[in-house]
Every structure is written in C-alpha cells, then in structure tokens.
Amino acid sequence: MSQTVAVLDIGKTNVKLALFDRGRLLWEKSAPNRIRSGPPYPHEDVESAWSFFLDALREAARTHQINAIVPTAHGAAGALIGEGELAAPVMDYEFTDVDAIEVDYAALRPPFSETLSPKLPAGLNLGRQLAYQKWRCSELFVKARHFVGYPQYWAWRLSGVAVSEVTTIGAHTDLWAPREGQVSSLVRALGVDHLLPPMRRAFEPLGPIQPAIAAATGLASDTPVFCGIHDSNASLLPYLVSRQAPFTVLSTGTWVILMSVGLSLDQLDPRDDTLANVDALGRPIACGRFMGGREYAIITESGGNADLEAIERVIASGAMALPCFSGQGGPYATTAGVLRGEVAAQDRAALATLYCVLVSDLMLTRMGAAIGDLIIEGTFVRNLLFCQTLGALRPSQRVFAAEDASGTARGAAMLAQWPPSYRMVEPAPVAPISISGLDRYRKAWTAIVDLIAR
C-alpha cells in the first residue's frame, strides 16, 4: 500500500526534510544546521531548524499527501524538556568546556566493560553533557521534566509525547549497558533516573501531530509521528532486513561510522574508539568511528574527489597524511595531524582519500571485522576511489557502494512500515582494482602511525 513518509533528518552539518514512498525518494529540501555560540554554552539552533521544517512540511504538503512523520538525528545530543519547552539549550557536542567537570564525572562514570562506551572528547559522551548541565547550569536543570535523545526531541515537539529510545540512548552515551539491555549505573549515580521517560521502539507511533502543527502546515490532523532513530542506525536498517551476518556498513558523512553486524564484542577497545552501538531491535553492534568527512575536507582544503593517477602519484611520492586532523574520533584523536612530504594542490584529494581509507582499514582490523561484505553508504560513495582503494586493501571481503545520498533518511522512512513489505535497492558491487605500491604504502603509514602513538 502506498504511504508517503516525511523524514526529519537532523545532521551535524545540515537539516533536511525528505519524502519517501516505499523507499522511493519523492521530494527533499535541506538547509545548513546552525550552532549558536551561547549562552550558556554553544548549542543547536533548534528554532531555526523548527522554522525550516514547518516551512518545508507546508511546501511539501501542497503537492503530496503526507501519511507519517519520522525523525532521525545525529548522536551525542539530547534535550532537557520542561513544561512545554526546552528547559536548557541542546548542547553542541563540540563544546570543550565540559572538561571542567571531568574529575567529578570520572568518579561516577561506569567502566567500559559495562557500557562499551569509550571516554570521548568534549561532549561526545551524552552522559557527560547531562552531568555538566546538572552541575554547572542548575538553574536551568531544575526546570527539566524529561531528558530525551535528539530524535525524540523532534518527535516530542511534533506529537507532545516524551519517550526514550534505545539507538539514541545506546550511542556512546555512558547511559546504557548494551549487554544487559538496560540503563547503566550512571543514571542512578547521577540522579537522573526520574528524567528518563518510558522506552519505546524506534518504529512505534507516538500519536498524531499537535493541532497547531496541522494548522501551520496543512497536514492532516491525524498524521502519526513515529519515535525516531539515531542516524547511523537508520543507515543500518535496510541491511538488517536484507542481508545475513556478518557484514559491515560504513556510514560516511561528517563522521565515518563502521557498524559490524554479527561480530563479537570482545575485541572492542576504548583506546581505539571502538564501541558498541545498539540497533533498532535492541541488539548491541560492534562499531568504530572517526571524523572522516571533516578530516577529508581539512586535508583537501578545497574538496573534490581523486582519480587513480593521482592516487598512484601520491603513493609513489611517499607523501602521507598522519592522524588526526579533527581532534576527535578514532584511535589517534589526541595526536595532531601532520602532512608529510610534498603534494601538489590537485593531488590533495588523493592524499585525503588514502588517509580515510587507511584509517577505515585500521579500525576494521582492530575490530576484528575480517570477514563479510563491506557496504559503503553516504558521502564517500561519490568518491569511487575511496571504495576501490578500501577493496584493494581488503581483497578477502567484497565491497559494495550504496549509491544513495539519502541513505539515512531512506532507512528512517522504513520505520513507518516496519518490517517493510517492499524491497530495498541493492548496493552496487565495486569492481576489484589493483593499485601499484598500495600495500607497501600501507605498511609504511602504519609503522609511522604506531610510532606516533607510543
């Protein structure tokens, strides 16, 4: 049965409204996601995003009958909700002054063995943000009635129903114990258990849109709002229903998130920034992450994609990009990125491609993801040499490219009809490629990186 689903997709860089019918993209519109400088700390500009979504829904409703709404959003963001409004701004996870509470927070923070959530910089552990808000913004914190993940904030804003959801609360927050399938000991230690609303599944409807939203957008008053999902887990959904484990999805954008389904959790190591996220069905998934999209942009300076000749020129020159250029994410977040050797401006994209491939390869190896297909989705799919070079380094694994710039939103749209009754478009196989000197280059790069880390 035809059903048009509107997805509110809140990324770190952009916000987007996209309409889907049985997995087919019908309409989309996007805008930059802004961060306000404060006070009381840098925070998401939720009102600009809200205005964008209302305008976009109104525009889309003129030509499409919208039957459901599903929100998806980036991780490491959560909302303290008061009486009908935010009690405190939604903190930007790159706010570094949360370091001021580290001594007190470390005394409460559960061990990695419980949460499978590594200690991350700035506000990338959502529990750390919550502790900062409680201890340093107490006049705002006392107004809070609920604390919800960022996708569920938008679901609440649309429906008026506050809920918790496992993919969001289980995304390196310190607040979830994945093996036990319950909140971690930090929730009680921090004294915030009363703020967490009931758990609901990502694919559960919460209720209809609020009357004022129906009036402002022209949507039917009974349009249901679904609970919503963490964005990387939205990217994973199509493969959970179409593939047998083991397999790994590389969800690429500002962050590169490596999600290995069917992999043991035993090789996860917080020093490598490997961790467990939780899928929409509540199952822990072995993951790794680094800020590949941002690092790619820093290295290239002007963006663009590489070609094979440029890749081979960089390899022959011995020039290297050595981690880390973002200051967060991956095994070498605490080391400063260095460009070694001379590279022509037109070869910067090749250098950045090699860097992102090598970090991905390293993290896959450390996670133990040595078997099963590799499916690349997101922005790096447009860089064919990224896909081909990763495949050349891992010849025992097949590489596929999900040629879909709307993978996160498309996956989220599936939640309005779960499990889906329609087939998803299969990712395209990436043909194997031979790159002269690549294996030697990897060995040299790895040796240098190992020295830097000591």
- Where do the structural domains in the chain lie, given as residue ranges? 4-227, 232-453
pLDDT of residue 366: 93
Contacts of 160 (CB under 8 A, 6+ apart): 207, 210
Regions of the chain with pLDDT less than 70: 1-2, 405, 453-454
Q: How far apart are CA 130 and CA 136, in angstroms?
A: 10
Residue whose entry in the numeric block shows the structure tokens 């700035």? 122
Q: Is the dihedral angle over the CA atoms 174, 176, 178, 179 positive or is it negative? A: positive
* Amino acid identity, position 246: P
Q: How far apart are CA 186 and CA 176, in angstroms?
A: 8
Determine the 3-state secondary structure of 213 from DSSP.
helix
pLDDT of residue 453: 66
Whether the pTM exceeds 0.85: the reply is yes
Contacts of 391 (CB under 8 A, 6+ apart): 374, 397, 398, 399, 430, 432, 433
DSSP state of 197: P
Would the CATH topology of 4-227 be identical to that of 232-453?
A: yes
What architecture is the 232-453 domain classified under in CATH? Answer: 2-Layer Sandwich (3.30)
**Cα distance between the two ends of the chain:** 58
15, 96, 280, 301 from 294: Cα distances, Å: 17, 17, 27, 10
- Residue 364 sits at the vertex; the CA angle it makes with 258 and 174, to the nearest 5 degrees, is 50
DSSP state of 337: P
Q: Residue 418: phi, psi to the nearest 5?
A: -110, 135
What architecture is the 4-227 domain classified under in CATH? Answer: 2-Layer Sandwich (3.30)
Let me know how many helices (H) and strands (E) the chain has, helices first.
Answer: 16, 22
pLDDT of residue 308: 96
